[in-house]
Structure 1
Amino acid sequence: MHKVLCFGDSNTWGTIPSVKGRYNEKERWPRLLASMLSDDFEIIEEGQPSRTAVHNMPFDGDKTGIRYLKACLESYSPDLVLIMLGTNDLKKKFNLTVDCIALGVHEIIEKTLSFKCIDNNNKLHVLLICPPPIFEVGHYAKIYQGGAAKSQLLAKSFHHVSKTLDCDFFDAGTVIHSCKKEGIHWQVEQHSVLAQALSVIIKKLFMRNKCE
């Protein structure tokens, strides 16, 4: 059984744009991903609204930060971790540069790759996913003031992080987009598109790793 841990924020959790609710198991991308893969894969959902890469103190903070990911690694012993963070770090109150956000992601991945699962001797792999750019519209416009321009630069910085740490990378913005009316979260069809793209990537990753 191949265990795949999906670690992210509200868009991994499944927040519905402009609605205080969550997409159901037939709509959000981790569950759709599970349905698109064979029974040889176990997809583990670990999305949480407002989760950040920087301000939750990686590996030394509250349950929404990388310390919680460490607990997940201990509990699930995954073979592959999909990490998609960075959107919440764009909030105006944090006043972070793109480089600072990328540095936070770098630390998360570095410590994840060095983690040794107690009951799994296989090498732990990471797929870094850059979230799609945001829009400064509606309710979130003031909260994310200045964030839209930064979000356009995340993919380049995250790709550099992946090359530095020799982990895999995917730019979600090449296949999906944030809700243009709400700005941050995704319409339901975007979840399906992302799941389809990731299912292809994950199959290739496990085939490659099997041959190594």
Structure 2
Amino acid sequence: MGIILALLVGIVISLVTYFKVPILAKIANFYVEVARNTPLLIQLLFLYYAFPVLGIKWSATTCGIIGLAFLGGAYMADGFSGGFYGVAPSQLDSGRALGLSDLQLAWYVVFPQGLTLSVPALAANVIFLIKETSIFSIIAIPELTNTTLDLIGMYYRSNEYLFMLVVAYAIILIPLSLLFTWLERKVRHATFGN
């Protein structure tokens, strides 16, 4: 859920900054700088422990989703922006010559072409965010790393359980990486024909 929200936030932020929407682009750039330059660990601790002081109490899962979306949105925005800025200026000029508005340019030209150019960066960001979930135990969300540490504490078999942790992440991430590699090839072939 956090990764899906991160994708949505990234799309919105990147379009706002790409089209330089007054005031919103500055806010978006500030958000990206704050999110990318603070560790997810600190963001999670802030959401889980500092917000209740302000009268906002969320469950650990909600804090995890928001934290992942907050950090991921900034990285996804950079990934999308790279793709959007990769759209040839001649494509934009052609769209303007046809009388397309900025919104139509975004929808019919920038978004479809930029999205295909963004796939490699987005794939790397999704895998990065999945690996970042390993610190969620700091706010009481049981996840693979925390469960492994619990098992080590109960059975005193660190090598075996740490090896199983590596295998578990490999089982999750290697097929995902292969899927993204396949998707990159398909998109590249569909877009550039090679």
Q: TM-score range by the shorter chain?
A: 0.3 to 0.5
TM-score, length basis structure 2: 0.35
Larger radius of gyration: 2
More strand by share: 1
